[in-house]
Amino acid sequence: MTKTVFTNAKLADGLLHDITVEQGQITSIEPAGSETASVSIVEIAGDMLVPGFVEGHIHLDTSFYGDTWMPHRPCTNGFDVHERVVFQAENMAAAAPMDKRARDQLDLCISNGTLHMRSHVMVDSSVGLKSLETILAVREDYKDIIDIQLVAFPQSGILKSPGTPELLDEAIKLGADLVGGLDPASFDRDVNAHLDVVFGIAEKHGVDVDIHLHDAGSMGAFTIEEICARTVALGMQNHVAISHAYGLGDLLPDTARKIAATIAKSGVSIMTNAPGNHTFPPISLLRREGVTVFSGSDNIRDSWWPYGDGDMLRRAEIIGYRSGFYTDEDLQAAFDIVTSEGAKALQLHDYGIQVGAKADFVTFSATCIPEAVVSFPKNRKVFKGGKMVAEGNKKIR
Ligand SMILES: [Zn+2]
């Protein structure tokens, strides 16, 4: 059996260890110097070794990363999801083939250390299942270097886009792993009817749910409570996520605390990318109440905003910066959000630097995790199943 030992790797405890990998799995973790008789040695030389990053929310189909620069078009009258969807359709018609753009974006993410991903893919009456078919083929090509979950995402609403309930159902049969939703109140203007479709498909196919919720204040909070109630009623605890949940950032602390307790009890996780110039969920408060908070790049160079670099370590820095995280404990929390908490939300059971887990890890030079969060060092090596897939910010496989 081929056995590779990664020697002198600094783990989160600050100590040097030798990590043995066999058949893509971690089979032992010993103090440095314990392993001497192995055939294959990879010298980590005191760099940190951490689990592969979890990109919990991205859009592989709509990014223009790698394409020509696409100047951002502002909404005519303040932010309007409907208008942005129209701009997106116009931009997509003029963009490079989706397959190329998706691969460019994946290469970017992998080169930065992302080895697990959840991507939403647009399913509506205009594109039908075409985008999903393209991204499913790309996923197949990348299956040895990154694990990808796909969400059937009703970007144009469910009730407002005729035929979408049937398309979402077909999308799951075709290979999407989760069913998505979009602002049941403000977009479709009928929370119950929207959630009937989403949870109906989830129940029918036994798949998880991840809903985009941009709605502010009490409308957002009301929708969150409805999602939590359905999650509990269907016994779907730990299988439902709400992406963005901006409304949580608008609430007074007491109200936020109460709803956080409901979210925690329902086992619903919250995804935030800590967006600029926008309210976003109070991460510390949510975590204190026991809510799983995870993160993602969301949009990278698309019709919604021009930002994003596919680096989840930098995303941890943005989360910390926007949340006022200064202590080591807080910076560690920001790191957990892009690693172990993401793994929890995505239900990755063989994750982490532990015996029995997949040998999916990233190395870089930093003295400790908090320092890595604020400096997001770029001299990384990325290993999938113990095999190097990227070095020096370039994908090599
Ligand atoms: Zn999104």
CA of 377 to the centre of ligand 1 (A): 26
Q: What are the residue ranges in the chain where pLDDT is below 50?
A: none
CA of 66 to the centre of ligand 1 (A): 19
pLDDT digits (tens, 9 = 90+) for 120-149: 999 999 899 999 999 999 999 999 999 999
Residue 156 backbone class (left: φ over 0; alpha: ψ -120 to 50; beta: rest)? alpha
Q: Quickly list DSSP for 231-275.
A: HHHTT-TTSEEEEE-GGGGGS-HHHHHHHHHHHHHHTEEEE----
CA of 232 to the centre of ligand 1 (A): 24
CA of 299 to the centre of ligand 1 (A): 7
Are the C-beta atoms of residues 98 and 119 closer than 8 Å to each other? no
Q: What pLDDT was estimated at residue 276?
A: 87
Q: Quickly list DSSP for 168-198.
A: HHHHHHHT--EEEEE-TTTTTS-HHHHHHHH
CA of 161 to the centre of ligand 1 (A): 18
pLDDT digits (tens, 9 = 90+) for 9-20: 999 999 999 999
Residue 162 tokens read as 């005729």
CA of 288 to the centre of ligand 1 (A): 25
Q: How far apart are CA 243 and CA 225, in angstroms?
A: 14
CA of 59 to the centre of ligand 1 (A): 6
| Kind and range of the H or E run holding 6 | strand 3-10
Show Cβ contacts of residue 116 under 8 Å, excluding neighbours closer than 6 positions: 52, 53, 54, 55, 146, 147, 342, 343, 346, 348, 351, 360
- Cα Rg of the chain (Å, integer): 21
CA of 361 to the centre of ligand 1 (A): 26
Q: Which of 314, 273, 392 is nearest to 53 (CA)?
A: 314
Residue type, 99: D
CA of 303 to the centre of ligand 1 (A): 11
Q: How far apart are CA 192 and CA 205, in angstroms?
A: 20
Q: Which of 394, 378, 320, 369 is nearest to 51 (CA)?
A: 369
Q: How far apart are CA 159 and CA 246, in angstroms?
A: 22
